[in-house]
Amino acid sequence: MGLRAGGRPPRGKLNAVRPDGSPAAAAALIRPQGLVPYAQANEEMHALAARRLAGEIPDTLILLEHPPVYTAGRRWKPEHLRWARDQMEAAGAELHLVDRGGSVTFHGPGQLVGYPILDLGIRPDVLAYVRALEGVVIRACEDAGVGGLGRNPVNSGVWAGDRKVCAIGVRVMRMRVTLHGFALNCTTDLSWYDAIVPCGLTDEGVTSLSQLAGREITTGEMAPLVAARFAEQFGLDLRPEVPATVPA
């Protein structure tokens, strides 16, 4: 199912119809290099969302990678964790309880994480927003030569058959501005997922773009593709911002 008609996606701007020919809404792309600790990114993301809510900054997309970390959304259950917390920490990964939708997931090197800070407007259609994010990732993966990805009728995210390649979990601040986002496995070491039941789904597995394509598809290759499709989907003029806001 696509971004169905009648659903209410965040309103894109139609640059074509502006009488003065001015471009689409300006937006910022923040792309810190290296691995950004989860707590730092989480804090920064909330600060940016608050500023977006106040109208101080434009729509923003953060694309980054985390060091190994497990995060559990509001819908997590104990049985979704196969390892105890000490076990995770011994392996070098923290566990964070976070304020997004969805259950437990993993972030780590080789995974492109996207945190869109978007103003959905006064009447957000949050499901359409999730569908839109899925569409962005699906098209970006096609651009990289990985076709055949799709949605799952029951569970959000982007799937290759019964294996998930991209997880999605979102929070909407004050019923208006988005937080958290998507996590696309590019060259992720999938053994990290042994510690959890990803998204609380016992029967499905996870995969990565590199595994699917049979060649190495890095986060560096995917980031510009995702950014381009993201800008297209939301009608944004996405310009890189000096990575000062989220120091690497």
Partner 1 sequence: MATVTMPQLGETVVEGTITKWLKQEGDTVAQDEPLFEISTDKVDTEVPSPVAGTLVRIAVQEGQTVSVGTELATIDAGDGAAESAAQPEVAAPATSSSEQAPPAGATPPAQAPAAPAASAPATAAPAASAPADGGERSAILSPLVRRLAEEHDVDLSKVTGTGTGGRITKADVMAFVESGGGAQTPAAGPSAPAGAPAASEAQSPPAVGAPAASASPAAPAAPPAAATPPAAQTPERPPTAHLPEAGGAPAAPPTPTLAGAQAPAPQTPAPQTATPQTAAPQTAAPQTGSQPATLAEDEELVPLTRMRQVIAQHMVGSVQTSARAWTLVEVNMENVVRLREMAKDSFGEREGVPLTYMPFIASAVDDALLAFPYVNAELRGDQLVLRKHVNLGIAVALEDGLIVPVVVGTDSMNIAGLARAINDVATRARNRQLKPDEVHGSTFTITNPGPFGSIMSVPIINQPNAAILAFDTIEKRPVVVGDAIAIRHMVYLSMSWDHRIIDGSTAAQFLARVKENLETWDFAPEVGLPAGS
Active site residues: 199
Select 129 or 159, whichever has its Cβ closest to partner 1. Answer: 129
From the CB of 132, what's the least distance to partner 1, in Å?
9
Question: For residues 225 and 182, what is the distance between their CA atoms, to the nearest angstrom?
Answer: 14
Which SS3 state, helix, strand or coil, does residue 236 take?
Answer: strand
**153 Cβ contact partners less than 8 Å away, ≥ 6 residues apart:** 1
Q: Which residue number, 174 or 191, has a Cβ lying nearer to partner 1?
A: 174
Burial of 146 (0-12, 13-18, 19+ CB in 10 A): buried
- Smallest distance, partner 1 to C-beta of residue 25, A: 9
What is the residue whose two structure tokens read 């992720």?
Answer: 188
Judged by CB, which is closer to partner 1: 130, or 227?
Answer: 130
Tell me the backbone φ, ψ of residue 78, rounded to 5 degrees: -55, -35
Residues at the interface with partner 1 (CB under 8 A): 3-9, 11-15, 17-19, 21, 73-75, 99-102, 121-130, 156-157, 168-175, 235
CB of 124 to partner 1, least distance (A): 6
Sign of CA dihedral 103, 109, 111, 117: positive
- By C-beta, is 13 or 31 nearer to partner 1? 13
Least CB distance from residue 64 to partner 1, whole Å?
20
Tokens 């937080």 locate to 179
Strands (E) in 56-149, as ranges, are 59-64, 69-72, 94-97, 104-107, 111-117
Q: Are 97 and 103 contacting, i.e. CB atoms less than 8 angstroms apart? A: no
